[in-house]
Amino acid sequence: MKKFLAYLKARPLGMASLIVILVLYVIMLFAEFIAPYAPTTSFSEMSYHPPNLRFQAGFKAQEARLINTISFKYVRIKDLHHRVRFFGRGEPYKLWGLIPLERHLFTTGAESADFLDADKSAALENYPLFLMGADSLGRDLFSRIVYGSRISLTIGFIATAISLVLAVLFGGLSGYSGGAADWAIMRFSEFFMLIPGLYLILFLRSLLSASMDSGQTYMMITIILSLVGWPGSARTIRGMVHAIKREEFVQNARLEMMSARAILFSHIIPQTASLLIVSVALSIPGFIMTETTLSYLGLGIVDPAVSWGSLIKRDITTLNNLRSYPWILNPLWFLLAVTLAFNFLGDCLRDFYDPYHTVFYRRKRENKKENKVRGKAEAAERLTGAEQVPLLQVRDLAVEFSVLRGSCPVTVKAVRGVSFVLERGEVLGVVGESGSGKSVSTAAIPDLLPRSALVTGSIRYDGKEIAGRPSEGSGAGAAGYRGKKIGVIFQEPGRSWDPLQNMGKVFFETLRNSDPSIAKAAALDRAAALLAEAGLDNGRERLSNFPHQFSGGQLQRAGIALALAQGCELLIADEPTTALDVTIQKQIMELLKSLQKSRGLSVIFISHDIDLVAEISGRIIVMYGGLVMESGPARLVTAQPFHPYTRALLASSPRFGSHYSGGRLSSIPGRVCDPSQPEPGCPFAPRCARANGECAAAVPPLVTADGGRELRCIAPEAAV
């Protein structure tokens, strides 16, 4: 939280929300000083008096006369004003019940006792100020709102604090202990969650005596809200604690013979701090609104105490009242302000703990405008019908992510100018370490990157530009090509499927996307055929199964079948064998080869394993730091690598028949470059044993070498 205020400076809505909350709570703390009158002070002959603050050579209270005692209609008296004095004397009060004072923030200068007992001439000199009008008993509505904030705002904080303590205590104990304690606590919390919250609150409140005074009512409502509010948070905390207690640092604390209480409150609960802080920001307005509901129904705060809910209940009784005296809705605007402020602040807290949600929309819109202009220029460069165009052409592709770290916007340059061509029926391999830009580059092709991504460059599919402008007859940009032209399979098959939908439903929705008139039976038959083509037997029977009923290899086969369901021409395989064992990896590789030949697919195969990529690919692109380091025919690149990074990748890959006794497996020293602070020169220079001063000066250009290869290195012959 040290940098949260600095972070808010870059979020105007969050900063404004925090200011609103602080102002409301300052008003609450100094209610006696800010309110010109006590909440019970009544001007009996001024029922439903309209607001009378005017600015004419200073702030003044305009006098009005009652002309209809039935409808309480007033007329303003022209040029009859009473000066509003700041820090003037008014009704005596005790600040916080301790400090006797008479000064108010603003007043017309009369103490209410003098005013009520004064004759008409004195009344003209001490006409009251109704900043927000008066209620049915002639009481200043602004003063009552200010005093009412003490109950409405504090009840949210106190109820949230109590419910949070209960949630941490019961949720932490349940998640850490497990067993019978876990079962008992969760069943107890489910009892409270079984009944809708408002109904349970109304039931518990109805059990209490109706003759309780204001203090007792306040205390009991707070306790009721706390009892109803803790179960949901407790279940969430229980799930987090249940997962965190298996982490190695917790196991290490147990080995050190730390007590369970110390482990729970010193090591585990602090890990849930982000959830707790956001939960507090969102729970407070919920409790405030619940108290308002109770007071409106007559089960909450009653006179002489006052809250925002009781203000709404007393006066908002008919539509005629609202039409004649609209100022009686003013308490509602305070409720709306505090609710929205807490919710916007909660959104900022969420983004603060997960900064990659932060999006710079202005840069995104500017980029779209640039792409539109560029697209119009490129549309003029039509290729002749006789000329064979590649299936995919990527030129100078760059991808940046704009995020906030503290209060500073940071640009993460994930891809920095990648170009390649993919022919029809070709398999292109992309290899590199994590963070090299492989997945981001390929995800930009079907436009699967998040909204915080700024994509520049050209992406042409079958000769048509699909980056940043509407495609002709195919929807907007790459969206019209997803599934029907471009399919994707991901590296973790278990996370690629909705656990609540069976296979048949997923395939039916996909096939209906390409053919809206297809019947369900025909779709299931087509899905079964696709599963059989992908190597899954009994596909018709398996369509009723859910993802958890498949193994990892079977899910990956089903993922390949789903990617082919709409007849895609380009298949992007993003590390499809990472989560699979060696035997299943081999089977998936053979399946991709078979489909590539039988369907004439073009494939982009991404992996960390350069030997695996070389086995399936005709050409290889080696990426590092968002740049292409080397590319060329797979056999040449793996047999005779030119770039030091390519040689390092090959040296760090285990070879069949090698043994640990023959020597240690080579590893690449150093760490992968930070895309938010890229090296000014060659990104691999800090880890390269042959780097010199020239390597760190500027990024080397990508030049063409022998054998149809491309290389980004100052001295490639030194790496041979």
Domain ranges of the chain: 161-314
Q: How far apart are CA 359 and CA 451, in angstroms?
A: 7
Q: How far apart are CA 361 and CA 189, in angstroms?
A: 42
Closest CA to 305 of 496, 150, 130, 96: 150
Q: How far apart are CA 678 and CA 625, in angstroms?
A: 7
Instruction: Spell out the long-range contacts of 507-514 with Cβ–Cβ below 8 A and sequence spacing 24 or more.
Output: 507/543, 507/561, 507/562, 507/565, 510/483, 510/562, 510/565, 510/566, 511/565, 511/566, 513/483, 513/566, 514/483, 514/484, 514/565, 514/566, 514/567
Q: How many CB atoms lie within 10 A of CB 691?
A: 17
Looking at residue 103, its pLDDT comes to 87
Looking at residue 428, its pLDDT comes to 93
Looking at residue 624, its pLDDT comes to 92
Rounded mean pLDDT, 681-696:
86
Q: How far apart are CA 60 and CA 130, in angstroms?
A: 11
pTM above 0.75, yes or no: no
Check pLDDT > 70 for residue 70: yes
Confidence of residue 113 (pLDDT cuts 50, 70, 90): very low
Going from the C-alpha of 270 to that of each of 122, 230, 259, 346, the distances in angstroms are: 63, 18, 16, 19
Q: Which of 217-221, 553-557, 656-660, 715-719 has the lowest mean pLDDT?
A: 715-719
Q: What DSSP state is assigned to residue 670?
A: S
Looking at residue 318, its pLDDT comes to 60
Confidence of residue 427 (pLDDT cuts 50, 70, 90): very high
Task: Give yes or no for a contact between 594 and 403, defined as CB atoms under 8 angstroms apart.
Answer: no
Looking at residue 474, its pLDDT comes to 39
Which residue shows structure tokens 């505090």? 338
Rounded mean pLDDT, 619-626:
92
**Who wins on pLDDT, 126 or 224?**
224
Which residue shows structure tokens 């309209």? 50
Half-sphere exposure of 197 (CA within 13 A, CB side): 16
pLDDT tens for 504-521 read 988 988 888 788 889 999
Going from the C-alpha of 213 to that of each of 2, 42, 209, 210, 305, the distances in angstroms are: 43, 21, 10, 9, 9
Rounded mean pLDDT, 438-465:
86
Looking at residue 452, its pLDDT comes to 73
Check pLDDT > 60 for residue 232: yes
Half-sphere exposure of 462 (CA within 13 A, CB side): 13
The amino acid occupying position 403 is V
Of all residues in the chain, the percent with pLDDT exceeding 70 is: 84
The amino acid occupying position 322 is L
